[in-house]
Structure 1
Amino acid sequence: MLRFTRSLLLATCLVCVGAVAGMAQMDGPEGEHEGPPILILVPPPDAEKPEGLEMSEDPEESFRQLFDAFFQMMDQDGNGELNHDEMAGWVHPPHRDGGEGMGDGDGMGDGGDMGEHVRHLEEELRRVHEEQHRRHIEELTHHRDRIREELGHMREEQARMAEHMRQMEEDARRTAEELERALSEPPPGEGPPPGDEG
């Protein structure tokens, strides 16, 4: 949950900063841009974040996960459709001066180096993905070692059982031999009485 939330927050920042950077590149001399109007999606503070999702390292898959997560967070009634009220808390107009809708201004407003902020956020997101990958490898390694240890114990137990079976088979063989000898000998006292010979 913590790893997903951090990844989602960073990815959200990338969406916001990328949108503003794109707007700044399209700005004309009068502050107008060519193309369709731009709106920015920013999760409200009380947005309930999905649980149990880790962002993929693949960019396309990560984008799909982010899109699905945004939709799930925006779809408050869970009916699979977004209405005006559900989107109202998410949609913000772009601001060139880092004003309302873009926080209190953290260097991303006038004169801010958008490219540097984007690179910094991308690097942080990459680092989070690498940390997730490293933890996944550690978990798999631990699981593999535990399986190997259990297999070792099972092989030892199997060897002990095989030795026990060998001993039981040996005891059974000796018992059978003793039984055969006992059956082939006459019972005590069944021989001729003393002095009756001749």
Structure 2
Amino acid sequence: MSWFIRFNKPFDVLPQFTDRANAESPRRTLSDFIDLPDVYPAGRLDRDSEGLMLLTDNGRLQAQIADPKHKMAKTYWVQVEGEPDASALKALRDGVELKEGLTRPAKARLMDQPEALWPRDPPIRVRQTVSDCWVELVLREGRNRQVRRMTAAVGHPTLRLIRARIGDWTLDGLEPGQWDSLSMPALAPSSSRKRDRRPRR
């Protein structure tokens, strides 16, 4: 049986099954929640981020979801300091200059706090003198800590980050730490070149 699952990763959980860097005092990993053989994440989600991860034991599907060349859209709910104005939102949409270059165009809009949002453990640090709000960001690339760096670059540091959607798959109905099994999606045609079948001379 092939597995394809979605998982709601809690805050402070490593997006991998082992913690080799801290063998004597290991941190929480995916193995604390998922006990399936040969299942691996299709893409990462930082330890201090929450939300949707997809995992599978099918290598082609894993690559299809994780590989940036497929440009699969990923939707994030981002709680930021302050409230981005029109120019900040435009910068997020048009591209933000990071040290490795300009980010690809994205979708960005202000949003209400997500409904039925679970409490984070531990809670974010709240400063009474600084307001905050929620932004929805839709990206089609996956640079290291990209969302946090993008919001910081436009003057609104990220306080909380939740990935809500990957392609057509969402968090709907999953509590933090829960996973469920999905139907295997159709795989894209292999990108490998066809063999030259002309007879040899």
Indicate whether the TM-score tops 0.5. Answer: no
With the shorter chain as reference, the TM-score category is: under 0.3
TM-score between the two structures when normalised by the length of structure 1 = 0.22
Highest CA radius of gyration, 1 or 2?
Answer: 1
TM-score between the two structures when normalised by the length of structure 2 = 0.21
Q: Which has the larger share of strand?
A: 2
